[in-house]
Structure formats: C-alpha cells, structure tokens
Amino acid sequence: MNRARATAIVAAFAAVPPLAVRAQAAPYKIGVTYPLTGPFAPAFSDYLKGAVISVQDVNAAGGVKGHPLQLVIEDTLGTPQGGIAAMRKVTQVDGVQCIVTILTNVVTAQIPLADETKIPTMSTVETPGLFAKSEYSFSHAPTWGLTLPMMVPYWKAYGVKRAFGMLTNNAIGLQQSTAVRDALTSIGVQYEEGLIDATQTDFRGTVARAIDMKPDIILLTGQGGQHEIAAIKQIREMGVRAQIWNLGQNFTSGPYRTALGPYSEGLYYGGVYLDPNASPVFAKRYKSVVGYVPAYAAGEVYDIIRIYAAAIAKGGYSGPAIREFVATLHGMPSVLGGTITMGPDHFTKFTSAGFFQVRSGKLVRLSS
C-alpha cells in the first residue's frame, strides 16, 4: 500500500460526517503515529477507524468542555526511525499533548522521547515488560504473556513433540522467541526456528526447513502483517498440515480476514475477541460506517480516545495532567465489555484474554 493511497483512505474515512458536532472552540489535538504504509498498513488502518469513530462520537456529544477532538495522523512507516520522526512532528509542530501509537519496535523507540517531552503515549502493543522503566508510555491491550501460559497445557495435552517458530524478526518476535523456546522446552518439546522479515513475502525456504523438521505446530508472532498472511498461505500450499498458532488475535480485522480467505480455517489465535453482543452499540455503529463488525483492536483504540477525552476533561489539555489520569485509571467502562483499570506495569488489566480456533469461518474459544 503506497503512502498516497493510505493517506487518502484515512482522510476519506475521517471525513465521514459525525452525528452532530456542537463543539466550536479550538480543537484538542490527539496525535496518531501509525504505519500508513508497509506490511502492517492494511490491518492497522482497520484499527485506526476505531479512533476516528471515537472522535466523532465525542464531538457529537459536544466535545470536551466545548472543544472538539481532532486527530493529527503521521505515518511511522512501521520503523523506529519513522516512529521518532512522526512523534516529533505531532508534538513539536502540531503541539499535541497525547499520542496514540502502535508496534513494539516503534513504541520502544518512542518511550525515551515520551518521558523527555512529558507527552503520554498509549498503544495497543502486547509485549510484556515493555514499560518497566517508562513514566509516560502505556498500553490498553492484553499481553501475549497472558495467553502463552494458557496455550502450553493445551500443547502438552495434544501431545506436541516438535514445534517450529516462524516469528517475525522484530522487537516483539525476538522477545517471543525466548519465551516460546523456554515454554516449549519446559514440557519436553523440540523447538526450531526460522525468523521471518516483515518486509518480505516469500518464505518458501523457511517453510522447507519446517517440512524437514516435521513439526506438530508452527508459531507466528501474530501481528497481522502481510508477511504473516503470505507465510500462512505458503505453509499450506507446500502441503504442511501442522497446526498454525498465532500469538496475537488478528482474525477479526476485516482486511486481514479477507486477505487470508479460506486459508484461515483451523488457525489458532491468542488474544481478545470483541463480542458484538457485549458491545452492541459500538459494534452497530462501527459496522454502519465500515461495513463489518470491528476487530478487538479497533475497540481498544476507541477506548483510548475516550480515556484521553476523560483525562482532558478532568485535568486539562496538558501532557502531565493526562499522564496522571491514565496512570491512575480505575473502573472506566470499556467498549470491549467490563471496565478499564491501569496496572502498575502500564498495561490495562484484561480478564477476557484467551485463545481461539477458526471453525467454519468463526472464532471458537478454547481456553476457559
């Protein structure tokens, strides 16, 4: 997806008229540093729609103390360097006091800048321990560290003897590599690995290595990028029948699900499922604009905008004040169902995380 097309898609979506806009004062700007181009753009632009709808809903209700919210969106290219450049643009040029961001490698690069500028960032990254030394960086998402321990007993009961990792060669994939190896070897599973490049789409050589090993399961990082879609297709096209496990839950993203098509059947995913029945108003609103039910990450991003709106309403449009609200957040209703409470690790607490399998085109929960 080239930058012009990606920017046009986001701009067109942002132009969808809200129900009503009564706020007329100067806008409160929220920065968005997202990969509008590159292998993650299709799935992540789907999540970004949750932010756009959230802003529309806040503005339709009168904004924040009479001020409308406004998204300022910059392309990170999905790289640490791009993430820093995008963050400097929205803070130094546009003057935003809070940021929505994504991707572990990008967020990792942005953490020092967030602390330096005292501008809070909130993402949907799922890498445990990422914010151990950060004051101004947070995530509204379950970590894959929640679901991996749930998967291990399942693999043991299934009788897994050999596993092959096709994890992404980036920050989250490298962290997963160590955790997966430790978890599998603890139950006596032989583990081999071939890291894959998110900028590539031909992994037949790596799949051939997996074929030689004869694995019972193959593991992917589960970020929803185009490289993972290509890998899944090539695994099946080369005749590998091993179970495919994704350490993230991207199946409910419309573009990702469409790109996979019939190759999604039987796949396993860890994460959270946004149940339309638990959030009927949001699901109906999203579907009326986009055409399909929202992915869980779109719900997370919707929540993040509402968190920022509540923070500004309470403490004003100031990075430190917004940060204080986010850090002490407790019991705020979530569009995902239940409430939002920020944990001491700067991740919100999720009780609905689990793992699922695609059966007849739908996610079926396997974890209790």
DSSP state letter for 366: -
Dist. CA 280–CA 310, nearest whole Å? 22
- Per-residue confidence (pLDDT) for residue 21, from 0 to 100: 43
| pLDDT higher than threshold 60 for residue 16 | no
Mean pLDDT of the chain: 92
Sign of torsion, CA 284 289 292 297? negative
- What is the full DSSP assignment across 186-229? TTT-EEEE--B-TT----HHHHHHHHHH--SEEEE-----HHHH
Dist. CA 99–CA 273, nearest whole Å? 25
Dist. CA 49–CA 302, nearest whole Å? 8
Given a contact cutoff of 8 angstroms between Cβ atoms, the answer to whether 139 and 349 are in contact is: no
pLDDT tens, residue by residue, 229-271: 999 999 999 999 999 999 999 998 999 999 999 999 999 999 9
Dist. CA 148–CA 155, nearest whole Å? 11
Mean pLDDT confidence for 138-161: 94
Q: Which of 23-27, 141-145, 270-274, 318-322 has the lowest mean pLDDT?
A: 23-27
- Per-residue confidence (pLDDT) for residue 175, from 0 to 100: 94
Of 265, 194, 201, 268, whose CA–CA distance to 229 is shortest? 201
DSSP state letter for 276: T
Q: Which of 14-23, 141-150, 156-165, 225-234 has the lowest mean pLDDT?
A: 14-23
- Per-residue confidence (pLDDT) for residue 337, from 0 to 100: 82
- Per-residue confidence (pLDDT) for residue 23, from 0 to 100: 44
Of 224, 171, 199, whose CA–CA distance to 48 is shortest? 224
- Per-residue confidence (pLDDT) for residue 22, from 0 to 100: 47
* Amino acid at site 49: K
- Per-residue confidence (pLDDT) for residue 103, from 0 to 100: 95
pLDDT tens, residue by residue, 118-129: 999 999 999 999
Q: Which of 92-101, 195-204, 336-345 has the lowest mean pLDDT?
A: 336-345
- Per-residue confidence (pLDDT) for residue 2, from 0 to 100: 47
Please give the domain boundaries of the chain with CATH numbers for all domains.
3-142+277-340 (3.40.50.2300), 144-271 (3.40.50.2300)
Model-level pTM greater than 0.75? yes
